[in-house]
Amino acid sequence: KQEVTQIPAALSVPEGENLVLNCSFTDSAIYNLQWFRQDPGKGLTSLLLIQSSQREQTSGRLNASLDKSSGRSTLYIAASQPGDSATYLCAVRLGGYQKVTFGTGTKLQVIP
Protein backbone atom coordinates (compact mmCIF):
# COMPACT_ATOMS: atom_id res chain seq x y z
CA LYS A 1 0.00 0.00 0.00
CA GLN A 2 1.33 3.41 -0.95
CA GLU A 3 2.23 5.58 2.02
CA VAL A 4 2.86 9.30 1.66
CA THR A 5 4.65 11.24 4.37
CA GLN A 6 5.15 14.96 4.75
CA ILE A 7 7.67 16.21 7.24
CA PRO A 8 7.59 18.54 9.09
CA ALA A 9 3.93 18.72 10.00
CA ALA A 10 4.31 22.43 10.70
CA LEU A 11 6.86 25.08 9.76
CA SER A 12 7.23 28.73 10.71
CA VAL A 13 9.58 31.02 8.79
CA PRO A 14 10.22 34.77 8.52
CA GLU A 15 9.04 36.58 5.43
CA GLY A 16 11.48 36.56 2.54
CA GLU A 17 13.05 33.22 3.37
CA ASN A 18 13.39 30.50 0.75
CA LEU A 19 11.99 27.21 1.98
CA VAL A 20 11.59 23.57 1.02
CA LEU A 21 8.67 21.29 1.80
CA ASN A 22 9.16 17.53 1.60
CA CYS A 23 7.00 14.67 0.41
CA SER A 24 8.09 11.03 0.60
CA PHE A 25 6.32 8.01 -0.87
CA THR A 26 6.96 4.29 -0.58
CA ASP A 27 5.98 2.96 -4.03
CA SER A 28 8.02 4.52 -6.82
CA ALA A 29 5.78 3.19 -9.65
CA ILE A 30 3.82 6.43 -9.77
CA TYR A 31 2.07 8.16 -12.66
CA ASN A 32 2.34 11.64 -11.24
CA LEU A 33 2.61 13.72 -8.10
CA GLN A 34 0.51 16.81 -7.44
CA TRP A 35 1.09 19.61 -4.93
CA PHE A 36 -1.83 21.50 -3.41
CA ARG A 37 -2.33 24.31 -0.96
CA GLN A 38 -5.27 24.46 1.38
CA ASP A 39 -6.38 27.60 3.17
CA PRO A 40 -8.44 27.27 6.36
CA GLY A 41 -12.06 26.37 5.61
CA LYS A 42 -11.35 26.05 1.92
CA GLY A 43 -10.81 23.34 -0.63
CA LEU A 44 -7.52 22.29 -2.14
CA THR A 45 -5.98 24.48 -4.81
CA SER A 46 -3.76 22.72 -7.33
CA LEU A 47 -0.28 24.23 -7.51
CA LEU A 48 1.81 21.91 -9.65
CA LEU A 49 1.59 18.47 -11.19
CA ILE A 50 4.74 16.53 -12.08
CA GLN A 51 4.43 13.58 -14.41
CA SER A 52 6.52 10.50 -13.71
CA SER A 53 8.71 11.26 -16.73
CA GLN A 54 9.52 14.76 -15.49
CA ARG A 55 12.12 15.91 -12.98
CA GLU A 56 10.61 19.27 -12.08
CA GLN A 57 7.89 21.81 -12.71
CA THR A 58 7.90 25.54 -12.09
CA SER A 59 5.17 28.08 -11.58
CA GLY A 60 6.16 31.56 -10.51
CA ARG A 61 7.96 31.35 -7.15
CA LEU A 62 7.20 27.65 -6.85
CA ASN A 63 9.38 24.81 -8.06
CA ALA A 64 8.54 21.17 -7.51
CA SER A 65 11.02 18.38 -8.09
CA LEU A 66 10.53 14.64 -8.33
CA ASP A 67 12.99 11.82 -7.68
CA LYS A 68 11.09 8.61 -8.26
CA SER A 69 13.99 6.31 -7.46
CA SER A 70 14.33 7.72 -3.96
CA GLY A 71 10.59 8.22 -3.47
CA ARG A 72 10.84 11.95 -2.84
CA SER A 73 9.43 15.22 -4.03
CA THR A 74 10.22 18.70 -2.81
CA LEU A 75 8.30 21.94 -3.17
CA TYR A 76 10.58 24.96 -3.17
CA ILE A 77 9.04 28.33 -2.36
CA ALA A 78 11.22 31.33 -3.13
CA ALA A 79 11.04 34.61 -1.23
CA SER A 80 8.18 33.52 1.00
CA GLN A 81 5.33 35.94 1.72
CA PRO A 82 2.66 36.01 4.45
CA GLY A 83 0.11 35.09 1.75
CA ASP A 84 1.92 31.78 1.34
CA SER A 85 0.69 30.75 4.79
CA ALA A 86 -1.44 27.64 4.27
CA THR A 87 -1.28 23.88 4.52
CA TYR A 88 0.56 22.24 1.65
CA LEU A 89 -0.36 18.71 0.61
CA CYS A 90 1.14 16.32 -1.87
CA ALA A 91 -0.80 13.58 -3.62
CA VAL A 92 0.65 10.62 -5.45
CA ARG A 93 -1.20 8.81 -8.22
CA LEU A 94 -0.24 5.15 -8.58
CA GLY A 95 -2.47 4.24 -11.48
CA GLY A 96 -6.19 4.56 -12.09
CA TYR A 97 -8.26 7.46 -10.94
CA GLN A 98 -9.01 5.78 -7.63
CA LYS A 99 -5.39 5.23 -6.73
CA VAL A 100 -4.41 8.62 -5.40
CA THR A 101 -2.85 8.80 -1.94
CA PHE A 102 -2.56 12.08 -0.06
CA GLY A 103 -0.04 13.12 2.52
CA THR A 104 -1.31 14.74 5.72
CA GLY A 105 0.28 18.06 4.86
CA THR A 106 2.74 20.65 6.13
CA LYS A 107 1.21 23.70 7.78
CA LEU A 108 3.29 26.71 6.79
CA GLN A 109 3.26 30.03 8.59
CA VAL A 110 5.19 32.95 7.10
CA ILE A 111 5.74 35.64 9.69
CA PRO A 112 5.82 39.29 8.50
> Which residues in the 43-72 window bind another protein by CB under 8 A?
43-46, 49, 51
Residues in the chain: 112
Question: Angle 74-61-108 (CA atoms, 0-180°, nearest 5)?
Answer: 60
Distance separating alpha carbons of residues 79 and 84, to the nearest angstrom: 10
Distance separating alpha carbons of residues 90 and 22, to the nearest angstrom: 9
Point out which span in 10-18, 37-45, 55-63, 77-85 binds another protein (CB under 8 A).
37-45
Q: Out of 103, 106, 108, 110, which residue is the one contacting another protein (CB under 8 A)?
A: 103
Closer to another protein by Cβ: residue 53 or 69: 53
**Does residue number 28 form part of the binding site for another protein (CB under 8 A)?**
no
Q: Out of 22, 32, 63, 65, which residue is the one contacting another protein (CB under 8 A)?
A: 32
Distances (CA, A) of 8 to 15, 43, 53, 95: 18, 21, 27, 27
Residues of this chain that bind another protein (CB under 8 A): 31-32, 34, 36, 41-46, 49, 51, 89, 91, 93, 95-98, 100, 102-105
